[in-house]
Chains A and B, each alone.
Chain A
Amino acid sequence: MKEEEKKVDESKIKQRELMYKLIISQLVYDGHQKIAQDLASEIGQEHLAICPSDRLMKVTSVGLKEEHDIERPLNKLEYTLGPGIDLEYETEPQTSAAEPALYETAYVTSHKDKCRAGAFSPDGNLVATGSVDASIKILDVDRMLAKSDPDAVEIHPDAVVGHPVIRTLYDHLDEITILEFHPREQILISGSRDTNVKLFDFSKASARKSFKTITDAEPVTSLSIHPTGDYIAVGTEGPIIRIYNINTCQCYVCPYPKEHHTDSVTSVKFSSDARLYASSSKDGNIKVWDGVSGRCVQTFANAHEGLPVASVQFSRNGKYVLTAGMDSVLKLWELTTGRCLIAYTGAGTIGRQEHSAHAMFNHTEDFVMFPDEATTSLCSWDARSAQRKNLLSL
């Protein structure tokens, strides 16, 4: 087996060398002598006799035709929402979505204190918002849009639209830090600084209290629901990430103390196929864990210059992780190689931020968004080229 692996590795290395040779030959063929020379010296192949050749061109055209026919199987999320960012297959930015700066405010609802948590339901019909005043509001998207712009929505023009806030839930005692909708049932899961994780059934209009509470020992900072909806991963101010089985309320952790974070966990997320979950922490590390065994399979140490990492998010195909740190830089990491592929810079203050903020993809994963502290606006970048886009003032 080892022999075979070695052979596979060697052939891969040889292929890469061949590819670079082809690149250099193509450059010389097209007349870019200097660049070809520089590239050759970069990769340490200056002694190679460089002959101009058009072979790369031919190989690429054949390869592109073939690639077109290869079907890429889509996972369930990609099937319903469309493929997201995939740098292995795309080289040019193909943005069909509007950039974030073009979005307009449709509706404003207010809480009595700062509002820090928000979530969309999986079918996109509902929005939940949670606040420091310990209350949660659930809003209906169609009604919000109808209130703001009656012409835009496809409801009967004379139909009377109700109030967008369809539920208000008061069951926590302290700030709501995180909200997530259950993937299938009409259940909302909330985590709060009062160390509780509560499940609310909002299908009945009279719902006010949770029907289940999981009590932890430390304030909950983040949680993520497993795609089946039966498990949640909870991150708290303690360094240990817990996996709860929602139905039995039993809690499990990874058994190896050295694999855990060393400071409070700021964010935890499951990938869409549930094979992995990722976590970010104040200790500056980002860890990727195996969804089945709970063990840490990868650590990106000092991901943001040792400063706390504020948020982590998977791309839809599960190949990339987008992280935001207190150094005001967003980074896109590729999981197979463990490298940072793209860094999106230029947000906010240079150096340390005051407050932590979350970075997210937009709905087509063409853009990356991050709130800018200095100007109180939303920064966005093109996800593939890291080109900065306009600011959306908030």
Chain B
Amino acid sequence: MHLSFTVYNIIVIRKSVYINIEKLSQAYEFAIDKIGMDYNSYVLWNDYANLLKSVEVYQRGVVTPMANIEQLWKDYLDFERSINPIIAEKMNIERGRDYMNARRVGRELEIETRGLNRHLPSVPPSGLPEELKQVEVWKRYIFWEKDNPLRTDDQTLVTKRVRFAYEQCLLCLSYHPDIWYEAALYLQESSNLLSEKGDVSAAKIFSEEAAQIYERAISGPLRKNQLLHFAYADFEESRLRYQEVHKIYQRYIEMEDIDPTLAYIQYMKFSRRAEGIKSTREIFKKAREDSRTKFHVFVAAALMEYYCTKNKEIAFRIFELGLKKFPNISDYIMAYVDYLSHLNEDNNTRVLFERVLTSGQLKNEDTVGLWNRFLEFECNVGDLASIVKVEKRRAFVLQKLQEFEGKDTAQLVDRYKFMDLYPCTPPELKAIGYRDISTHTMIMNPAIPRGLSIHDSQEPAYAKPDFSQMIPFKPKIKYVPGEHPIPGGAFPPPPAVSSLLSLLPPPKCFRGPFVKIDHIIDIFMKINIPEQGTLTSNLF
């Protein structure tokens, strides 16, 4: 909105300086192009229309949903009548429908955007309830615009309106990467749609605009956001602009205070897709020389070599190289071990285990996972003697950690278990004192927030009335004392009965057989119903 204010200011300044109508109308056109769709743009349209007194301006204005559209419509009709009453009536009918449409949409727009605070400064997401509410309202507004409320067939207009909504949203929420991404994605999709329909030039424009949005996103407050960079790179890749992709990745990596590991990995993946394994190797070399990269690059590179070129040797060498650089990181070693076991090379795997576990580079706690894997490996592949040997060594290490003192049976359980099948029932496991310490299957990322803070959850558990402790009550105007323990009411019929009563016709409709109940009950009591039916015998 401040954008519109600045633009308007420009116009006002220009007005005082230039009395040249052409320049002014250019200024107005510019303003309308930028913010003409805004709900509060009535003043702009009005001023422009008064300036030019042209039919076109009015016609464009009355089909745009805005606040005082009725006033504009009236002015327009007066204007037309002053020119030519007959044409005015014709215009009234023709444009009237579009005008009504715009008016309806304007009302809906007002409802959708109620509660939006457009003046909130952009801050990094804090998770506070007010912020969440604002985000929700913005998303709802954008979703409503995407739904084509004007019911127009002009896809370009719809796209423009949605883009306008996104722009407004980004003024307030520029630290939310999802908005940037959605905006760019939407433009991409519109461009695809338009090119399918055959409108190539508009498609190109929107495609460029999508790229622009990405550019703005990564040059703005979210400079360090990896998601947006990668999304941008993928977008350019889909447009086959490989040079651009290179530039994007390099830009990110050249930034000083970020961790480039993930970026390198994505970069390598891209180059494999686009240019083949050679360029991947070059990037890997660069990554190795970059002191900020972590061990993940090695794992990714090695696996990439293996999956693409099926070359075990190179992958092997990469892993060894990584091992030299990062001998003390258990996650890396786990990955290496996994790779070797996939290859089914028993000897190499065993050698690796021995090397790592005797090298003394890992702290004892970290080795626990490795020992578990080693045991598993031996159970799958080795003979009983080696299993027992490994177990003993493991027990020795664990003893040092004082976790399993005296719980030899617990360690035996580890020998026999498979995935989530255990050799004992859970109570027995508890009695033995077994605790599952194998955690290598998932490297838990502590940075991902788990759960919500108490104030984020929608409803804290409020105390609710427990109706079983209360008595049902139906307030009655004419209360008969004694009808209900609490004076003033009666017992309501149970819910099933009241719903049935609401379906039945009123009592006075019933004119049917009025049965003497006592008689019929007597008959029921006297009837002798046989155990089995006698119908079959009657039929044959």
Contact = CB atoms under 8 A, between A and B. Distances in A.
Contacts of A231: 464-465
B470 A274 contact: no
B481 to A, nearest CB: 12
A217 B487 contact: no
B224 to A, nearest CB: 31
A295 B469 CA distance: 9
Contacts, number: 124
Interface stretch (B87-95, B305-313, B455-463): B455-463
A228 interface: yes
A293 B466 contact: yes
B40 interface: yes
Interface string A194-225: 00000000010100000000001110000000
Given A79-B455, A228-B462, A203 B469 contact: no
Nearest to A75: B460
Interface stretch (B183-191, B210-218, B471-479, B503-511): B471-479
Contact of B462 (A80, A160, A218, A274): A274
Given A217-B477, A231-B464, A291-B463, A255 B485 contact: yes
Given A216-B475, A292-B469, A76 B488 contact: no
Nearest to B42: A160
A154 B119 contact: yes
A59 interface: no
Q: Chain B, interface size: which category? A: 35 or more
B129 interface: yes
A158 interface: yes
Contacts of A273: 462-463
A252 B462 contact: no
Highest count of chain A CB atoms <10 Å: which of B463, B467, B471:
B463
B115 A252 contact: no
A63 B521 CA distance: 82
B530 interface: no
B107 interface: yes
A253 B470 contact: yes
A123 interface: yes
Contacts of B479: 217
A127 to B, nearest CB: 14
A123 B472 CA distance: 34
A205 B114 CA distance: 13
B5 A156 contact: yes
Contacts of A123: 115, 133
A226 B196 CA distance: 54
A332 to B, nearest CB: 24
B7 to A, nearest CB: 12
A253 B475 CA distance: 10
Contacts of A257: 485-487
A217 B488 contact: yes
Contact of B107 (A205, A228, A251): A205
Contacts of A275: 463
B49 to A, nearest CB: 15
Contact of A251 (B8, B466, B474): B474
A388 interface: no
Contacts of A260: 486
B461 to A, nearest CB: 9
B9 to A, nearest CB: 11
A292 B467 CA distance: 8
Interface stretch (A41-49, A131-139, A235-243, A342-350): A235-243
A228 B474 CA distance: 23
Nearest to B474: A251
B492 interface: yes
A164 interface: no
A236 B459 CA distance: 30
A110 interface: no
A105 B467 CA distance: 45
B4 interface: yes
B40 A159 contact: yes
A268 to B, nearest CB: 13
Interface string B282-316: 00000000000000000000000000000000000
Interface string A54-91: 00000000000000000000011001100000000000
B137 to A, nearest CB: 11
Contact of A291 (B107, B133, B465, B475): B465
Interface string B101-129: 00000010011001100010000000001
A156 B477 contact: no
Given A159-B67, A274-B462, A252 B471 contact: yes
Highest count of chain B CB atoms <10 Å: which of A76, A125, A203:
A76
Highest count of chain B CB atoms <10 Å: which of A75, A162, A250:
A250
A130 interface: no
A52 interface: no
B487 A252 contact: no
A327 to B, nearest CB: 28
A160 B470 contact: no
B177 interface: no
B1 interface: yes
Contact of B464 (A140, A154, A156, A292): A292
Contact of A252 (B42, B459, B464, B465): B465
B458 to A, nearest CB: 9
Contacts of A284: none
A248 interface: yes
Contacts of B107: 205
Interface in A239-273: 239-240, 242-243, 245, 248, 250-255, 257, 260, 273
A76 B458 CA distance: 10
Contacts of A240: 473, 486-489
Contacts of B119: 154
B68 interface: yes
Contacts of B68: 160
A124 to B, nearest CB: 10
A75 B463 CA distance: 13
27 contacts: A75-B460, A79-B455, A123-B115, A160-B40, A160-B43, A162-B110, A216-B475, A217-B488, A218-B475, A231-B464, A239-B488, A240-B473, A243-B467, A248-B495, A251-B475, A251-B489, A251-B492, A253-B486, A255-B470, A255-B486, A257-B485, A274-B464, A292-B464, A292-B465, A293-B470, A294-B466, A294-B469
Interface of B: 1, 4-5, 8, 40, 42-43, 67-68, 107, 110-111, 114-115, 119, 129, 133, 455, 459-460, 462-467, 469-477, 479, 485-489, 492, 495
Q: Which 5 pairs, one residue from A and one from B, show the smallest C-beta to C-beta distance?
A: A217-B475, A159-B40, A252-B470, A255-B471, A293-B469
Given A238-B488, A245-B467, 17 more contacts: A76-B460, A125-B115, A140-B114, A217-B489, A226-B462, A240-B489, A243-B470, A250-B467, A251-B473, A252-B465, A255-B470, A274-B462, A274-B464, A292-B466, A293-B469, A293-B470, A294-B465
